[in-house]
A and B are shown apart, each in its own frame.
Chain A
Amino acid sequence: MEAIFKKLSALSATTILLILSAIFVVLFIYAKPAVSKYGIHFLVDPRWDVTVALNQNNTANNASNTKATDENVANNQDTVDNDNGINSDDSINTDDDMANSDDDAINSGPIGGDDSDVLAALGDNTQSKNTETIYGGLVPIVGTVLSTILAMFFAVPIAMGISIFLAEIAGPKLSKPVGMAIELLAAIPSIIYGMWGLFYFGPFISRIFGGSSVSLLVAGLVLGVMIIPFMSSLTRDSMNTTPDVLKESAYAMGATKFEVIKDVIFPYAKQGIIGSMILALGRALGETMAVAFVIGGVFTFPKTITDPTVSIPVVLANNFAESSGMSLSALFYLALVLFVLSFIVISFAKFYFLRDKK
């Protein structure tokens, strides 16, 4: 009996390792084409799904590309009206053959080919010889890190305040229902936070801070709201484990409530508090649906905090259903990056903060 029990529990423990390695292996296998194509440069390249001509220097080309567009358009601006006038005259004469050749030009042109995805899925690699599509993950990586940091900045003080209030200041008549409410908040599915953020919280924030209704700031705050319940309920529980003897002796020495909390409860509950923060951090890093609604989904670096940007899970959720071939592989590469990123952050937090465990 004893032996079976031991075996069973060992088996459950191994499943964790098995699942973890299975996820890693699958991510790696699917990401392999992108990894071998873009290599480590993927991590520092801010371009996503940008098609460039192969025969030129890529980065210079891209920069000059956008510039060239601006200039061209600026130059053409005056003539645009005239052009259109001429065109519309022409188009009355042109028949459908003309229109069809337009179609072909658009689809086989240097920029067109979305068909490449389908063809790649079919194992046909004849597409676009003189162009290349670049995938780089820097924008979503930065967006993920920034939104997580914002969320932690916002959530940690509030969560601490809530748990101190519940554990020490409020009487049982108040702390019970409030504690229940917090656990309820933790149980709300993330998509509901997303909908709330999109329709109410985002516009509210943009009225106060300016900017648009979906932005890095809104994403950070919604994330913060989402992780507060986790942090505060775990922190409260670990604060409650402080033995009454310790607290009472501190009060007997003449300590004030603030001093007791600061010097007795916090040091005693430190590990639980940090553990709760790490759990919350993990959730904030990987949160998908809520952020997808409120971060904006624009592939640019946020210049100010109220600019929209994008994060890794959001890119995955937005583009996964419609991707195949190299774009799918690039998504798996991003997923791998997120996996490794959260692994590093969480293990760093664990080792750094909890190193003096014994």
Chain B
Amino acid sequence: MKKFIAGLTLAAVSSFAWTINGTGASFPYPVYKQWIHSFYDKTGNRVNYTATGSGTGIKEVVARHVNFGGSDKPLTPRVLKIAKLYMFPTVVGGIVFGYNIPGVHNLKLSEAAIQGIALGTIQYWDNPIIVQYNKNAHLPHKKIIFVHRSDKSGTTFNFSYYLSKMSSIWRKYYGARKLINWPTDAQGRSVAGKGNFGVSAAIKTNNYSIGYVDYADALKNHLQMASVQGRDGRFYAPIPANFSKGAAYAGFDPKKDFYKVIAYPKHGYPIIASTFILLPKEKTASNKEVTAFFNYAYNYGDKAASSLGYVPLPSSVKAQIRKYWEEKGISPAK
């Protein structure tokens, strides 16, 4: 009889534990992995997330193959409506300029310098526009090698989005996309790497190169990172404190399903990006499980995120997201 009761309770417990599957953006994968692990330890519920890229995440959730999709690139409310999706942000990260100039540390890049480097009009490191803010550094007369992603990526999208907001010339000719035909390619000064680690490796192995990488990867690969001029004209070092300063000005709006690319905020480090979760509207039951997981992450996951180089969402945004869930009827079951 005792055995029977024990078996019954075991069955009851295991029937309460559930499994949800998600796929998509690789940029937040390290922090999701941590969250999933501690969520499982605490609740016994399994969350499977595979890092396949934002495009796949969108495709898979549109096709209703997974319980949730991850994307670095938010979808516009119009697209969300057509595809019948809900969307909310989870975590913020920074994109940094990694560079490799022997003997030069603490490089500072003004907006004019970044624009010139990206557009290919600044070809040498000792260009006056760069030197202006780096008087003490001995910048050599060497060609700038620009390193970018060779694969389509959300990082490229967020970086080019920043460029579009910062530079009207960039917006006019290139815009924000996941794959850019970089103007430096045509000048033969580009190198491209596959994935963030490909870009990091290319920066490390090519002297006089500069490229954009996720902060977490730059940290792992011990790249030199440049300080960047923000929208308010001040220079910000690429550190999480400055990312979160920028994230505070993100201005997410629940009415637009949090549709917002947060790059180029009013103050703080300008090249920041948030990553999003997409949910299929009609699957209320599994959506509640997904929100339960992310609710847990919002409550207890900030430390894990910070230690991996991400920036947790401000608590005001978290409150907005919880309200958004409630309005849509997908709040986690208590």
A interface residue numbers (CB < 8 A to B): 47-50, 65-66, 69-70, 72-74, 76-77, 80-81, 84, 88, 91-92, 96, 99, 102-103, 105-107, 109-112, 114-115, 117-119, 121-122, 124, 198-199, 202-203, 206, 212-214, 292-293, 296-300, 303, 307-308, 310, 314, 317-319, 321-324
Contact = CB atoms under 8 A, between A and B. Distances in A.
A314 B198 CA distance: 14
B186 A300 contact: yes
Given A91-B231, A102-B165, A118-B75, A84 B111 contact: yes
B169 interface: yes
B55 A115 contact: no
B183 interface: yes
A111 B192 contact: no
Contacts of A292: 150, 194
B59 A298 contact: no
Indicate the member of A111, A293, A307 with the most B CB atoms within 10 Å. Answer: A111
A107 B202 contact: no
B164 interface: yes
Interface in B21-40: none
Nearest to A123: B82
Given A72-B169, A92-B232, 9 more contacts: A115-B76, A118-B62, A121-B59, A212-B202, A213-B191, A296-B150, A298-B182, A322-B53, A323-B55
30 contacts: A48-B181, A49-B179, A66-B183, A69-B119, A81-B112, A84-B112, A99-B251, A103-B261, A106-B176, A109-B171, A111-B171, A112-B177, A114-B73, A119-B82, A122-B62, A198-B205, A212-B191, A213-B206, A214-B192, A214-B202, A297-B151, A298-B191, A299-B181, A299-B185, A303-B188, A308-B190, A318-B151, A319-B179, A322-B54, A324-B59
Given A124-B82, A202-B205, A114 B176 contact: yes
B205 A199 contact: yes
A295 to B, nearest CB: 9
Contacts of B120: 70
B79 A50 contact: no
B201 A198 contact: yes
Contacts of A102: 165
Counting from the closest, the 5 A-B pairs by CB-CB distance are A297-B150, A111-B175, A322-B55, A322-B152, A318-B151
Nearest to B233: A88
Contacts of B179: 49, 319, 322
A124 B191 CA distance: 36
B175 A106 contact: yes
A70 B201 CA distance: 30
Contacts of A73: 116, 119, 121, 169
**Which of B121, B145, B205 has the most chain A CB within a 10 Å cutoff?**
B205
Contacts of A323: 55, 152
Given A76-B169, A119-B82, A214 B193 contact: yes
B307 to A, nearest CB: 27
A322 B153 contact: yes
B46 interface: no
Contact of B173 (A65, A99, A124): A65
Contacts of B232: 88, 91-92
Contacts of A122: 62, 79, 82-83
A73 to B, nearest CB: 4
A102 to B, nearest CB: 6
Nearest to A72: B169
B215 to A, nearest CB: 22
Interface string B179-214: 101110110101111100010011001100100000
Given A99-B251, A199-B201, A322-B151, A117 B55 contact: yes
B318 interface: no
Contact of B174 (A47, A80, A111, A121): A111
B112 A106 contact: no
A298 B206 contact: no
B125 interface: no
A307 B171 CA distance: 28
Contacts of A103: 260-261
B161 A297 contact: no
B266 interface: yes
A62 B102 CA distance: 37
Nearest to A65: B173
B181 A49 contact: yes
B205 A213 contact: yes
Contacts of B224: none
B56 A114 contact: no
B192 A297 contact: yes
B248 interface: no
A321 B82 contact: no
B231 A203 contact: no
Q: Pick the most buried of B56, B116, B179, B231: most chain A CB atoms within 10 A of its CB.
A: B179
B166 to A, nearest CB: 9
A233 B261 CA distance: 55
A152 B76 CA distance: 49
B178 A114 contact: yes
